[in-house]
Amino acid sequence: SMIDLSLFLEKKAPKDPINDLLIEASKGVLKGVLEIDLKERVSSDFISNPNSVIIAPDLTFTLENMVKIMGWYDNEWWYSNRLVDMAQFMYHY
């Protein structure tokens, strides 16, 4: 499946810094939840992908203060993985 996230910001925002921020997050605080697809794949390539969303930077675009971010996801699989994450969190705390 694909998600189409539209944001309206207070100021203009160029595409590259937004994608850079998402890439940085995918390597840090959101690792295992957010992935970046630099290969321009299609939805069937993400079946059983454990990440909650796979951002396609080539599909990110901006127009004035509007930003559109597109991402792929495997609805059932990512949800199941987040349930496991939550169970592990609860077990440890």
Q: How many domains does the chain have?
A: 1
For 49-82, b where at least 16 C-beta lie within 10 A, e where not — what string?
bebbbbbbbeebebeeeebebbbbbbeebbeebe
The CATH number of whichever domain residue 68 belongs to comes to 3.30.360.10
- Return averaged pLDDT per consecutive 10 residues of the chain, 93 residues in all: 94 95 97 94 88 95 96 85 88 91
What pLDDT score was predicted for residue 42? Answer: 85
Tokens matching residue 93:
């705390």
> pTM for this structure?
0.82
Q: Which residues form the domain of 75?
A: 2-92
- For 79, half-sphere exposure in the C-beta direction (CA atoms, 13 angstrom radius) is 4
Residue 66 has phi, psi (to 5 degrees) of -95, 135
